Structure 1
């Protein structure tokens, strides 16, 4: 056990522990804030660089792919580099990436800046969780992870609203300008106050593991991201996913047989860690995909602005940030199972209620439902992962954080692709069903359509043919809107099923806090 860990256990370096947490939380906050700021700016970036939606999406895809490559090797870097060196390097890399994005004259330069940002951000979260697990005993880790959750959930709370306000009044470049001084301040604080946790070890680099994980996770995540915008039977999607699965199989074989694995997959031999990872992954599939559907419904269907859509999500994110430390304290006292059952029950019911969206669902109702859904999630967002890491022995914690973050990332990507694909497919199916109703000569629909056409022609003082064309365009718009809403509702039905699966699996969680990682 390291000297700081021993001192932390005795309780005589509380100030140092608090400083370490504060420095790392600030780094995680600015990384998450940047990501949420950018999401709302996508349409403006399309106009600024003269690119289409498929091209601009690479700002998110490249960021995700880079994270998918960096996170699995974080366990090796945490073991071989000092805490100060790794965090300063990660924070500096992220800040440099922000500078590149802020001054980028072309889309290609901005894309490069996003990759640089992702390298730094991908290392921060696993490092922060590993350090917390090292300097706090199991019985207080829930509370500290809850404190970390404040930064994780406060950034998404203020990000969309702040981004919408800045874009409406200033340039999109301000989204990156605001993160640069925060990154510089955190670099200074880390240089002055950050203490090393643990002693670095000399380890052989697992080259085969690195190559197979890079190709495996990279192509798999790419395939999932393309499936959301294309189709699961698209040759590129099929080839990417098949390649990803093949190389991940090779990666698993390498890590289980190599004497110095880059990512020790034996963490999954601990039942509590495995169950928490599965529950968290299934839940992330439901949550991240569902979180994408709400802005589509509010902006594309209901016509609300990006700022109004961000304000709708603000109360829920604030509730989640407030509840995060409270949930951590409750986990330390009662264990994770009771929190998971409560939180997942609320999440499942509210997700099901989203299957009832309509063309005139009140804004306040959608906001209230989203807030209650986030309240349910606050019981499980950080506590499930903490419980799984608590079950691991200390020397496997860095591997556990890397493995946990990796599977959650893959699950989030898969869930987003799955629900968006379901929404698109079902929207087309519902539209065709409406069209068939007209084509089979439905008497009441035909009478109604002809009446509207005649009314349009009379109002425009135009021939009946002109009125018919206007009525057909109006009918097409109304049918498209209703078909899209029903497609979104169908996607939420699948999300409800996923949340229900997570609820059932949560009954297998250990009821009382586990101190195996002490």
Structure 2
């Protein structure tokens, strides 16, 4: 075993640099949502085509993040940080300077490479540099990064799109990334152990095909339906590849991901929580801007401002929840969070073309308060169940499923909305576009509320005893 040289470091400063890099990357997941209509006009593309700016990003994350568990054991913390930041900066600049859709999509894909490296690195480093009794507080701040970035992105990007143009979403992100790169190079130290395990190329291929095909399948389902032959074929290929991948991991001497993480029941339960939460976050990030602009007919900037209080409350409450978690554990938070989210989503399922702004703000805020109570306690509790040698694998599994759940959640929301619109249009031949939009959103949020109820039932089975 080859260990990295131990160096003096400030854990809080290191955590800040990694979290800022992750924040900008996750911000990019939903930042362009407010600009989709602008891009459709500017580049003369359809809604199905422009959606690939989100789908392509999530597709790369779904493929790359599983490989990260291996990369963390091959490359030092500092080296991986530098590589991820270079990808992020280059991709952001390419997107900012894009003169056509293809160039913008390439920029997004390069961006995603950087984010796909930094997310698992962030989680793994936090588990290494902080003792278990302090993880709740620091993971609370990380939870703020993971939830707040996609939550406030529509607000900030809405203001930017209306005031400066969509390119400035990337220009501003590039400035933050360059500053953080300079800062991070000075403060990031090597804290992990380099073991350089044997690389199993077939496992990498199976992982890439498996996660990639599943994300792709759900993504194209948003343009057609779940019964489309191409959707079913893609999902089938993905499932078969992942089954073979899992079997192989249990048989080879040096697995790419140690499947032993799934032997810990409470880790598995925490994965369910994270999957549901990410589906709720990403589906809401698509549905609410579409409702506000398409049904209430507000501008991008106004739509962003309406969604701001939910993101603000998340920012305020995440560190508080983190500190409290260290003292009282996950049980009070997660059930309460799912209950609040379910109520908020049910209320959102009653939106109409005349719903008052304050009601949208209130219902959206309820959902995001609930999400705040779930995501950090769920992540920290799950990872705390694992022994230290499984942290890279646990964080890679959790990060991967977050991105897959995000892609599925986005498609799930669009499919439900489209289904609701078709049903409403069939029963109301003279329906207007705003009425159809609100009907579709009502249908989508009804089923998202059901998803939150499933999470609530699961949260009743939490056991407070930790494994380590």
- Compute the TM-score of the two structures, normalised by the length of structure 2: 0.95
CA displacement at 1:357 relative to structure 2: 1.6
For 1:148 and 1:5, the matched residues in 2 are separated by 26
1:356 is paired with a residue of what secondary structure?
coil
CA contact (8 A) 2:147 2:281 kept: no
The answer for the alignment partner of 2:339 in structure 1 is 345
For 1:393 and 1:340, the matched residues in 2 are separated by 23
CA displacement at 1:386 relative to structure 2: 0.9
Seen in structure 2, the aligned counterparts of structure 1 residues 491 and 173 have a Cα distance that, compared at 3 Å, is closer
- String of CA shifts for 1:143-192, please: whole Å, max 9, x gaps: 00112233334434543233222222323222211122221222212221
The answer for the alignment partner of 1:39 in structure 2 is 33
Whether 1:56 aligns to 2:50 is yes
Seen in structure 2, the aligned counterparts of structure 1 residues 99 and 206 have a Cα distance that, compared at 3 Å, is same
CA contact (8 A) 2:33 2:286 kept: no
- String of CA shifts for 1:99-136, please: whole Å, max 9, x gaps: 21122233222211111110110111110010001111
The answer for the alignment partner of 2:444 in structure 1 is 491
Q: 1:503 aligns with which of 436, 456, 461?
A: 456
Seen in structure 2, the aligned counterparts of structure 1 residues 100 and 483 have a Cα distance that, compared at 3 Å, is closer
For 2:426 and 2:30, the matched residues in 1 are separated by 36
Seen in structure 2, the aligned counterparts of structure 1 residues 142 and 84 have a Cα distance that, compared at 3 Å, is same
The answer for the alignment partner of 1:455 in structure 2 is none
Whether 1:121 aligns to 2:74 is no
- The total of aligned residue pairs comes to 468
CA contact (8 A) 1:285 1:498 kept: no
Whether 1:330 aligns to 2:324 is yes
CA contact (8 A) 1:282 1:499 kept: yes
CA contact (8 A) 2:276 2:451 kept: yes
The answer for the alignment partner of 1:364 in structure 2 is 358
Larger Rg: 1
After TM superposition, the structure 1 = structure 2 runs for residues 282-431 of structure 1, keeping only pairs within 5 Å, are 282-431=276-425
Whether 1:172 aligns to 2:166 is yes
CA displacement at 1:345 relative to structure 2: 1.2
CA displacement at 1:71 relative to structure 2: 0.3
For 1:37 and 1:399, the matched residues in 2 are separated by 29
For 2:28 and 2:66, the matched residues in 1 are separated by 22
How much is the aligned-residue C-alpha RMSD, in angstroms? 2.1
- Structure 2: 5+ residue runs without aligned partners? none
CA displacement at 1:418 relative to structure 2: 2.5
- Structure 1: 5+ residue runs without aligned partners? 8-12, 436-474
For 2:5 and 2:385, the matched residues in 1 are separated by 18
The answer for the alignment partner of 1:161 in structure 2 is 155
